[in-house]
Structure 1
Amino acid sequence: MSETEYSGFEIREATHDDYEGVAAIAAQTWDGDDYLTDVYHDWLDGEQRHTLVGTVGDDVAGIAQIVMLSPHEAWGQGLRTAPAHRGKGISEAITYELFDWAREQGAVVSRAMVYSWNQAGLGQSRSTGYEPVTEFRWIRPEPMSGALPASVSCDPDAAWGYWTGSDAAQSLSGLTLSMDESWAVQELTPALLDRAADETSVLTVADGDGTHGFAYRSRTFERETDGGEVETWAEYGVAAWDSLDSARTVVEAIRVDAADCGADRTRVLIPETAGYVSDGAYIRANIGDEPDFVVAADLTADYRRDRPTPRSR
């Protein structure tokens, strides 16, 4: 296992034996409600991803992972540093080692997501070379059994044509949810919409005047409630529309599609704009309380400039 030594700590690839150390960090994050302990072993077994830990002596002092979402897009996630070891440059060193790995795989950009209220996370992301890109909000309409609206069909080509000229695409910088990685966004492409049409659903709203909006289901997943029950969620990679009427139609189609796939709940990504968020409120689509931010780092740049460098490589 390769290691890189910095002043006061080392960076190496994570192993299953690091679980207890990672769990100790997670216990001090988000008041102990950190997802890392639930996904850690799956993280290490997954493909097209690289997970690193920072160590101080025998202690795990930091962790993060990077995932390849496409041949040129990487996604950074799970960056954590133990409170006792913050301020030593561990998170920066892990981030740049992960950037190196992603660039070797062919990535030219790495993106990440930060809660809008997370001041520490936002500051840390900016300090490691990430720049703000876009923001989005969730709506969570309730599933509803029934028939799809008459104006809704599965037409990925029409959806793509609508997307390329939409204000939603401009606001979101062309980014929507990945179908393979949770809480990750990547560039929406015709191939992704074709895949959704084959594997999940594409809900395209069109009439004699043209296409007016669409949504696609990115994935379904199960989550345990605080009461110990298991709920099925249907997640939609984006919802876009051009009027209140088409907003109602898109959301109604989502509700029907979610019920049809057996979901108990939904979450749907929409642009964080006054128009979209107020539309969601007006049609009672159950909008989330706060937006989430997406940041990106240019991996073609010299991201290590004026940053910590290892003593030996």
Structure 2
Amino acid sequence: MTASEPTITVRQAKASDEDAVVGFTTDTWSDREGNDYIPRVFSEWIETDGETQRTFVLDVNDGEDIAGICQAVLLSEYEGWAQGLRVNPTYRGRGVSKQLSNAMFNWCRSQGATVVRAMVFSWNVAGLGQSRSVGFEPTTEFRFTHPEPNADSEPKLTVKPDATAAWSFWQESATRDALRGIALDEVESWSLSALTRAQLVAAADEDRLLTVFDGKTVGFTYRTRTFEQQTNSDSDSNSGSDSDTETWAEYAVAAWESESAAEAVYRAIEADAASIGADRTRVLIPESARWVGDTAAARVPIADEPDFVVSANLTDPTIGTR
């Protein structure tokens, strides 16, 4: 290391890092519509760090600057999730992102996790390349669909909150195979974890499960959470201006076996979302011509682009050392 090269080390983030982090994350994707979410959530990340969550930064010269940020979250006793990895443009090209990735891997391993997953936008070629270089492998790809809440929607097939039928269908479904058994996590937003029978039982008990029958089980979905979001949150999230809010209903996954079953699943979602007063919805489906085509045939709006999920096997001792 020459005298002109900075000393960059990984440490846990602290509240005093906020100005520096906001400074280099505000315009992360200046060529894309919408701003980075890091400035909105940084203070919350610091407040909620604990046994199941750790936020890291790259410290430059013992507090002189911040070269990067990331966060690791434990979603279950064996599943970790990596998110929010950003590198300050001033320090790009030095390979410092590997320090952040290794910190997340090693922390998740120390907490008992055997796998770490992450989501990469399909258009983020640099991010996908970085993830592969540190040990992440391709896992699956998905797309969001957005059926519109409608109290008048009526599925042509029978819909009941049957957890056992939904679980049996999931176990044998092509959707499960395509998604490698994962769906939207119930607690951590914008993350995916293994779908469990207990989650479907809880959803049925709380009237959030929609299992579709046509003599036999032909599909299901379940509402995983609802949340409020400012309508101008992408464009004016840091302006401090007042804005209207929308209620979103999120469905962890939608699975079906035929075009008619897909239509019934979506009509059930539209009615369910309307029943809780939701303004908009977000539903996860696998990315392929089959599921996207069935969605289009049901006349349901579809996101413009898919997203990728990558994963790293923490039982491999080389993960976290690259």
> TM-score, normalised on structure 1?
0.92
Contact 1:96–1:303 (CA under 8 A) maintained in structure 2: no
The offset of 1:156, in angstroms, is 1.2
Which residue of 69, 72, 75 maps to 2:78?
72
Residue correspondence of structure 1 range 106-117 to structure 2 within 5 A: 106-117=112-123
Instruction: Find the residue that maps to 1:237 and give its secondary structure.
Output: strand
> SS state of the match for residue 123, structure 2?
coil
Contact kept, 8 Å, 2:87 with 2:97, in 1: the verdict is yes
The sequence identity of aligned pairs, in percent, is 49
Q: In terms of mean alpha carbon deviation, does 224-233 or 97-106 score higher?
A: 224-233
Between the aligned partners of 2:290 and 2:153, the Cα distance in structure 1 is 28
SS in 2 for 1:196: helix
Q: CA deviation at 1:49?
A: 0.4
Q: What TM-score comes out, normalization by structure 2 length? A: 0.89
Superposition deviation, residue 35 in structure 1: 0.3
**Structure 1 residue 231 displacement after superposition:** 0.5
Q: Does 1:42 align with 2:49?
A: no
CA displacement, residues 67-117 of structure 1 (integer Å, 9 cap, x when unaligned): 000000000000000011012232111111111111111100000000101
Letter in 2 for 1:78: G
1:221 corresponds in structure 2 to 227
2:102–2:320: 8 Å Cα contact kept in structure 1?
Answer: no
Q: Counterpart in 2 of 1:311?
A: none
CA distance in 2, matches of 1:77, 1:83: 18
Deviation of 1:290 after TM superposition, in Å, equals 0.9
**Counterpart for residue 137 of structure 2:** 131
Paired AA for residue 16 in structure 1: A
SS of the residue 2:227 aligns to:
strand
Q: Does structure 1 retain, via aligned residues, the 8 Å contact 2:105–2:320?
A: no
Contact 1:96/1:304, CA 8 A, preserved across alignment: yes
Deviates more, 1:298-307 or 1:100-109: 298-307
Deviation of 1:147 after TM superposition, in Å, equals 6.9
Contact kept, 8 Å, 2:106 with 2:320, in 1: the verdict is: no
Counterpart code for 2:214: D
- Report how far residue 45 of structure 1 moved: 2.3
Aligned with 1:140 (options 130, 146, 155): 146
User: Which of the numbers 294, 299, 312 marks the counterpart of 1:284?
Assistant: 299
How do 1:83-102 residues align onto structure 2 when only pairs under 5 Å count? 83-102=89-108
2:164 counterpart of 1:162: no
Q: CA deviation at 1:305?
A: 7.4
Cα deviation for residue 8 of structure 1 reads 2.6
Provide the rounded CA distance (Å) in 2 between the counterparts of 1:166 and 1:300: 28
Give the RMSD, CA atoms, in angstroms: 1.8
Q: Of 156, 159, 175, which aligns to 1:152?
A: 159
Say if 1:28 and 1:82, in contact at 8 Å, map to a contact too: no
Would you say how many aligned residue pairs link Structure 1 and Structure 2?
A: 301
Structure 2: distance between partners of 1:87 and 1:197: 50
For 2:199, the aligned partner's letter is: L
Contact 1:200 1:218 in 2 (8 A): no
**Corresponding position: 1:122 with 2:128:** yes
- Residue 249 in 1 paired to residue 269 in 2? no
Q: In structure 1, what is the equivalent of residue 240 of structure 2? A: none
CA contact (8 A) 2:312 2:319 kept: no
Shift of 1:146: 3.8
Deviations 1:127-178 (A, max 9, x none): 1110100000111010011476460011111111000100000111111000
Please state whether the residue corresponding to 2:73 is helix, strand or coil. Answer: strand
Kept in 1, the 8 Å contact 2:122–2:307? The answer is: yes
For residues 321 and 109 of structure 2, the distance between their equivalents in structure 1, rounded to whole angstroms, comes to 19
Cα 1:200–1:83 shift into 2, 3 Å: farther
Establish whether residue 55 from structure 1 lines up as the match of residue 59 from structure 2: yes
Segments of 5+ residues of structure 2 without an aligned counterpart are: 237-242
Partner Cα distance (2:207, 2:87) in 1: 37
Q: Where does residue 269 of structure 1 map in the other structure?
A: 284
Query: What is the one-letter code of the residue matched to 1:42?
Result: E
In structure 1, the residue corresponding to 2:41 is in which secondary structure? helix
What is the match of residue 3 of structure 1? Answer: none
Larger displacement relative to structure 2 (222-231 or 120-129): 222-231
